[in-house]
Structure 1
Amino acid sequence: MNPSAFKFTAIATLLLGSGTAFAENIIDDHIVVSGSRFEQKLKDVTGSVNVITEQDIERQLAVDLQTMFKYDSSIATTGSGAGAQTLTVRGVGGNRVVFIKDGRRTNDGYAGGGGYLVGRNYFDVASVKQVEVAKGAASSLYGSDALGGIVVITTKDPSDYLKNNDSFVKMALGYQGQSNQIAADITAAKDLGDFAVSAVYSHRDSEEVQNYDEKLPGYDAKSDALLVKFEQQLDEKRTLKYTLDYFNQTTEQVITSAVQETEEDDTNWSLALDYHSEVATAAFDKWHGQVSYSSYEQQSDQISGASTYTDYNDYRFEQNILGLKAVFNKGLKGETTDHEVVYGVDVDLYDITRPRFKTRVLADGTVDFTDQKQKAFPGADTSLIGAYVQDSMSFKNSAWSVIAGVRYDYYTLEAKNDELYADSQLDDITESAFSPKLGVIYQVDDNLSWYGQYVRGFKIPPHDQAYQSHGVEPFYQILPNADLDPESSDSFELGLRYASSDFSVNLSAFYAAYDDFIETAVVGVEPTYIPGVNKTLYQYQNISETQISGVEAGIAMYVAENILLEANVAYVDGENKETEQPLTSISPLNGSVLLTTELGDINWTAAWRLAKSQSDVVLDTNGDKTTQGHGYGVVDLYANYEWQAWQLNVGVLNLLDKEYVPFELIAGQSASADVSQYSQPGRNFSVRVSYQF
């Protein structure tokens, strides 16, 4: 792309601020829960929150995390299609970002291979009402893992479908060109008097997401999702909600038949009971309780052939989560100050196992061994118990409001007994943490406000890093480390918001210092039986300090009567202060520009995604620069047409057939590495049609 064009767009956008997704969002403020764990307007939140609505998902033909956040310059995604996907928010990602779906924590990711083999994309977007991403630490309300932010996924309840109707049915068919995905969805809801029920079922058939040259190994994937909810109205002020949430995805890849094959089956299901009461007492005006049980299982069956033998691998990851939550709200009105208090308790109990078995058959057909247990990391039992309180104070006859909160967390991590691992290296971990928050808002007038906040974040040492103990003889060995300290952060943010009926601006600057970041380190080298070959010993260890800072900005405005302009830009800088090297998780300066208009009965959106080149990169062990990133600009085009009960959405992605490689996917690799496999798909088309009755 033209560097001067990027600079012009970036500087212009930086001066203007951050916008919203579509025209109606300038006028109507979003209602969010991520900032305070109770419903409030987005303009009343201290800190940056990005909102993806159901309408955004439909109009931009999003099908997963990667396609959902492609126009948010402060959020980067890794993985695509049916593969594992994770989000990086302001340079912090993986398990340092908490995922909450309908009030319950979702499954972890675990480290292995080239990234997270278990991702956070094992849910379907067909039932999603809204996705909120609170950027920056949120441990004062959500506890461990909210070091880099939280992703709150809210699905629709029966009342969202029914509104003033007795029944609701919607059917949709779609095609997504990036992965050749064919999707079918059906949604139904019914009012049964004191009961209301809704069910959403979706089925998807897809293939791999190819690189630009279409040379990646192929695979086939299928998924089925079912979300069923019952709402029971006990009386005018009390309701019960029962939820069944099921998702299953299978992928099959055959590189060479009977020599290199993989079949993966990922199943994620949960049951939840929610109770909501608005019966006021002296202690609270309303409260919400939830009991949930979630089960995630990944099973990977692999055939790996060599010249003298063939291995049949049975690898699994299983995680069960029992969750108990209670959230209380109390409003207090005084002569000079009004208070909105939220407090509550969270209990999450994790049961994690990692069974791995190998059977080896020699070339002559002899079975060398059967179901031999393999090392990775032992299972673990994790307990997270937290209590929190937050007070939002508004002062009468004053433009100031203050939000102050604190959370106390106690957690334990206990390795399961396994004869493969030495007990002396698998000590239990018990820690506690206080996470305070202080925020202020200054309301200049009805349209303009300033805000600032400080939040402390923390993250417990994850089971896979504390107890990981495996290797490939004679080349390397990963040693467990039960002496890992929790990661912690101190985060600061200052921001400005302006919103009127036809103009919206956001501007924020942030800084975060992270202590005891957990990373891999070389702790020793040992000679082996092969002359000239040494075994390298690795271990996850804490590094002293990491710093991340940056600026985000954007705008949404009508440039003509029916033309909406949106633009946003993000600049992030991060450094490992121990090595004085840049972090590989940092994205280059990037942004997006969207123009939306109506021509006749069709709503059109042209979107331009931009990224600057990246030359400030980490050095390799020889002191040489690793691979650098090249700047690019990509144009997408969308059209939306509604007629009576029909809706048609069409998209052309990468309209100009640009070949490009996002820097986030190649950061830290050798400068001589061939990165063509990370190039993104060329021009592709997507379409979705739905009918509602």
Structure 2
Amino acid sequence: MRPSLLSVSLALCLSSTAAVAAPEGAPRDFDQIVVTATRTERAISDVPNTVDVIDRARMDTLLVRDIADLFRYEPGITVGSSFGRFGLNDIRIRGLGGNRVRIQTDGIAVPDAFAIGSFSSANRNFVDLETLKRVEVVRGPTSSLYGSDALGGVVSFVTKDPSDYLRAGKTAHFGAKIGFEGANEGLFAGATAAFGGERWSGLVAVSHRQGKETENMGEVGGAGSARTLANPQSFNGRSVLGKVVFAPSEMQRFKLTLDASEDDIDTDVLTSYGLQTLTGATNTQVLGDDHQSRARITFGHELDALSSALADSVDWQVYRQDSRTRQDSVEVRRVPSAGAVIRDRREREFHFDQRSVGLQANARKAFETGNVQHAIAYGIDVERTETKQKRDGRRIFLDTGVVTNVMLPDVFPVRDFPVSDTTKASLYVQDEIAFADGAFRLVPAIRVDHYRLDPEVDTIFREDNPTTQVADLSETSVSPKLGFVWHLGQDWSLFGGYARGFRAPPYNDVNIGFTNFQFGYTAIPNPDLKSETSDGLELGLRFSSNAAYASLSGYYTEYDDFIESTRFVGIDPLSGLMVYQSQNVEDARIRGVEAKGGMYLDAFAPALAGWSVRAAAAWSRGEDRGTGESLTTIDPLNATLGVAFERATWGAELAGRFARRRDRLPTPAPAQNGAPGAAYFESPGYAVLDLYAHWTFAPGTRLNVGVFNLADRKVWQAGAVPVIAATSATRDRYTAPGRNVAVSLSVDF
């Protein structure tokens, strides 16, 4: 994309400066109510952060089925993915992802991600998006309200409630939806039932999904390392959301929630067939069988309109959440040995399980001191999590039938870190101080977090690490924030502020344990790891009227003490082994500009009734402050632009996605033996068009259709492309699907 395309997008975002009245009832995007940014219900126009909201109606229009679909038109938010087997793996906000972004469902953090080696990758993709009524994203450090893991921001999933369906006196609701996705031949079916009376109400939502591998635009098939087509894959998953609400009065509600999902994926990893140059073995079969599940039960209570000096409203919830990841791998090989060929079958099992129990309580109090209004929010979060990880396996010699648990460098079973109990306890306080009848709002906040790690050394860990000394960890962090919103007039406002973020040292980095005598190295714990921290500044300008809305913001964030896992630190003089250890070594700087806006064109000419335009763009730069190298997680300049037409029973939208060439990559390897260093692949810029349409052809019945990549362009999206050589013959592996279609049909009674 040429820079002029960004100029066009920004012009569309900021073109309207007059408060032209739109027809009555026209939507005002910045009037949407959000909770995540301040832990209080506030319109976006009163929030001192850059916040994105995607509601249920928008998800249905865009035929959202996974997190990649969810953020397709949100520049600055990237969904990472890997080729081969494990697929979508993280959400990156402004270049920061993984466990450095807090992802939560109804305020409760989803389980951690963890990966080791080629056969193990537990991701955080645990939420069935069909159970959601909206998604809120807060960009930038948010530890002052959410503690550790909110270093890069917060993605908040909010599930449906019975009250979302039982309005205007309705006592019952039933809805069903079916859908199809062409990119992976996926099928979806779901149903929702809600009931309600004077005091009791409830909801049950169930869904099932299945499909095959997501296509790309590779052309080389067959088996072996030259393959660029996606590996054959089949998946199926299901979820259930159940809620029961008891309201003894208009002032209070008790809520019991059950939220569970599971997914199964089978992969024939054809790209790993053939000769393996590192081992000399020839793989004749490589299969993956992956299972992931999560179950959460929550009991909560909300009280409003209290007559208390301490609080006007209070809510609390207790919860338990269990997640399990099991990944089984089978590798059948031929290994040359002493003039003969040994046939063996290698079976590997990877387990990563977490159980969390916790309590959250929040209170709010509003009062005045003279002409100044205060809205105090405060609360506590307490959570205890047990994390277990294990790798197991066996080697079967097919010619003799001998079975052994020795699969060098491992003697199974092994743990790469001990069973770990982590306790997080925190207290936060925030005051929204309004001056001049709310024209200027100052928002100071502070949070104190105490983090404790208690490892448990069992037989499995000790047998694999006989001399490793594990360590406890206890750390307290203070995260301040100061934000502001200044309404300059009826339509304009300034916003911004300072925020500090932190991430406590992860259990697997503190107490990693792994020794490989065959290759001469060992990984040792580091009890002296410090928390990763960030200091961020943001300044933005918003415009909102009945005719248009726009936001333009700039940010600058410095990150200190990033943890580099298993870094080489020297040679053990006694054993002669190379020693690796996780250490605080990296400092980074990320800065950027983001813009978002839209216009309702009927406010300018009655003939344009029903027409609207929306656009967004993000530009960012990120460097390692120590080396000056560019951060590979930073996206190139990208933007989106959509033109929509809406009528009472039908509508359509043409949406474009644009990106510049990815040219900020690490310095190529130095030349050796007179040969130049290998340059890295710079994925080219692109412009992709998608077309959506919807039709309500009967009351309560809606058909949604989407055609993606209309021109069938070959596209490499930044989040899916690793750092590879420019001359790589397999770079087409990382291409997005070509032209494809999705459709859904929903019926509501």
Give the TM-score taking structure 2 as reference length. Answer: 0.87
Kept after mapping to 2: 8 A contact 1:286/1:329: yes
Cα 1:659–1:535 shift into 2, 3 Å: farther
Correspondent of 2:47 among 45, 48, 52: 45
Correspondent of 2:136 among 116, 132, 143: 132
1:342 corresponds to which residue?
A: 377
Q: Distance in 1 between matches of 2:723 and 2:151?
A: 23
1:530 corresponds to which residue?
A: none
Cα 1:413–1:115 shift into 2, 3 Å: farther
1:538 CA displacement: 4.2
Kept after mapping to 2: 8 A contact 1:508/1:552: yes
Kept after mapping to 2: 8 A contact 1:569/1:591: yes
Correspondent of 2:615 among 567, 578, 600: 567
1:272 CA displacement: 0.3
Matches within 5 A, 1:343-492: 343-370=378-405, 372-397=412-437, 399-417=439-457, 418-419=461-462, 420-422=464-466, 424-470=468-514, 473-474=518-519, 478-492=523-537
Q: Distance in 2 between matches of 1:515 and 1:114?
A: 29
1:314 corresponds to which residue?
A: 349
1:64 corresponds to which residue?
A: 66
1:501 corresponds to which residue?
A: 546
Cα 1:52–1:7 shift into 2, 3 Å: closer
Cα 1:566–1:116 shift into 2, 3 Å: farther
Q: Which moved more, 1:648-657 or 1:308-317?
A: 308-317
Which deviations, in whole Å up to 9, do the C-alpha atoms of 1:440-496 show, x marking residues without a partner? 111111211101211110001112233333376428654433322100000110011
Aligned Cα RMSD in Å?
A: 2.5
1:56 CA displacement: 0.9
Kept after mapping to 1: 8 A contact 2:495/2:541: yes
SS in 2 for 1:283: coil
1:83 corresponds to which residue?
A: 87
Which deviations, in whole Å up to 9, do the C-alpha atoms of 1:49-101 show, x marking residues without a partner? 00010011100000111100010011011128983431110011111110111
Q: Distance in 1 between matches of 2:577 and 2:398?
A: 28
Kept after mapping to 1: 8 A contact 2:598/2:615: yes
Does structure 1 residue 332 correspond to structure 2 residue 337?
Answer: no
Does structure 1 residue 221 correspond to structure 2 residue 277?
Answer: no
Kept after mapping to 2: 8 A contact 1:628/1:667: no
1:554 corresponds to which residue?
A: 596
SS in 2 for 1:152: strand
2:249 corresponds to which residue?
A: 235
SS in 2 for 1:613: coil
1:634 corresponds to which residue?
A: 688
Q: Which moved more, 1:659-668 or 1:35-44?
A: 659-668
1:676 corresponds to which residue?
A: 732
Q: Distance in 2 between matches of 1:160 and 1:426?
A: 49
What amino acid sits opposite 1:343 in the alignment? Y
Q: Distance in 2 between matches of 1:388 and 1:267?
A: 32
Kept after mapping to 1: 8 A contact 2:468/2:513: no
What amino acid sits opposite 2:266 in the alignment? E
Q: Distance in 2 between matches of 1:499 and 1:567?
A: 15
Does structure 1 residue 6 correspond to structure 2 residue 5?
Answer: yes
1:114 CA displacement: 7.2
Which deviations, in whole Å up to 9, do the C-alpha atoms of 1:245-271 show, x marking residues without a partner? 010111112347993221111110010
Cα 1:604–1:476 shift into 2, 3 Å: farther
Q: Distance in 1 between matches of 2:577 and 2:213?
A: 36
Kept after mapping to 2: 8 A contact 1:17/1:553: no
What amino acid sits opposite 2:742 in the alignment? S
1:274 corresponds to which residue?
A: 300
Q: Distance in 2 between matches of 1:572 and 1:271?
A: 40
Kept after mapping to 2: 8 A contact 1:304/1:311: yes
Kept after mapping to 2: 8 A contact 1:16/1:554: no
2:274 corresponds to which residue?
A: none
SS in 1 for 2:231: coil
What amino acid sits opposite 2:256 in the alignment? Y
1:10 CA displacement: 5.0
Q: Distance in 2 between matches of 1:405 and 1:134?
A: 16
SS in 2 for 1:50: strand
SS in 1 for 2:207: strand
Q: Distance in 2 between matches of 1:222 and 1:111?
A: 22
Q: Distance in 1 between matches of 2:515 and 2:44?
A: 48
1:531 corresponds to which residue?
A: none
Q: Which moved more, 1:425-434 or 1:55-64?
A: 425-434
What amino acid sits opposite 1:136 in the alignment? G
Kept after mapping to 2: 8 A contact 1:82/1:208: no
1:8 CA displacement: 4.5
Kept after mapping to 2: 8 A contact 1:107/1:296: yes
Q: Which moved more, 1:50-59 or 1:376-385?
A: 376-385
SS in 2 for 1:150: strand
Kept after mapping to 2: 8 A contact 1:109/1:116: no
SS in 2 for 1:85: strand
Kept after mapping to 1: 8 A contact 2:79/2:88: no
Matches within 5 A, 1:58-207: 58-79=60-81, 83-113=87-117, 117-163=121-167, 164-207=169-212
Number of positions where the alignment pairs a residue of Structure 1 with one of Structure 2: 682
2:261 corresponds to which residue?
A: 247
| Bigger radius of gyration | 2
Cα 1:599–1:439 shift into 2, 3 Å: closer
Cα 1:523–1:545 shift into 2, 3 Å: same
1:423 CA displacement: 6.2
Correspondent of 2:701 among 646, 651, 662: 646
1:210 CA displacement: 1.9
Which deviations, in whole Å up to 9, do the C-alpha atoms of 1:582-610 show, x marking residues without a partner? 10110000000000013684200101000
Q: Identity across aligned pairs (percent)?
A: 30
What amino acid sits opposite 1:377 in the alignment? F
Kept after mapping to 2: 8 A contact 1:569/1:592: yes
SS in 2 for 1:92: coil
Give the TM-score taking structure 1 as reference length. Answer: 0.93
Cα 1:174–1:544 shift into 2, 3 Å: closer
What amino acid sits opposite 2:643 in the alignment? L
Does structure 1 residue 602 correspond to structure 2 residue 650?
Answer: yes
SS in 2 for 1:280: coil
Kept after mapping to 2: 8 A contact 1:78/1:86: yes
Correspondent of 1:666 among 702, 705, 721: 721
Q: Which moved more, 1:424-433 or 1:161-170?
A: 424-433
Q: Which moved more, 1:259-268 or 1:493-502?
A: 259-268
1:435 CA displacement: 0.4
1:265 corresponds to which residue?
A: 291
SS in 1 for 2:28: helix
Cα 1:362–1:213 shift into 2, 3 Å: same
Q: Distance in 2 between matches of 1:631 and 1:427?
A: 48
Q: Distance in 2 between matches of 1:684 and 1:475?
A: 50
Kept after mapping to 2: 8 A contact 1:84/1:116: no
Cα 1:54–1:680 shift into 2, 3 Å: same
Kept after mapping to 2: 8 A contact 1:627/1:666: no
User: Unpaired segments of 5 or more residues in structure 1?
Assistant: 528-533
Which deviations, in whole Å up to 9, do the C-alpha atoms of 1:552-582 show, x marking residues without a partner? 0122013433221111110010010111101
Cα 1:28–1:588 shift into 2, 3 Å: closer
Cα 1:593–1:477 shift into 2, 3 Å: farther
What amino acid sits opposite 2:143 in the alignment? S
1:24 CA displacement: 5.0
1:414 CA displacement: 2.2
Does structure 1 residue 691 correspond to structure 2 residue 743?
Answer: no
Q: Distance in 2 between matches of 1:455 and 1:276?
A: 29
SS in 2 for 1:583: coil
SS in 2 for 1:355: strand
1:150 CA displacement: 0.4
Q: Distance in 2 between matches of 1:51 and 1:114?
A: 36
Q: Distance in 1 between matches of 2:358 and 2:207?
A: 26
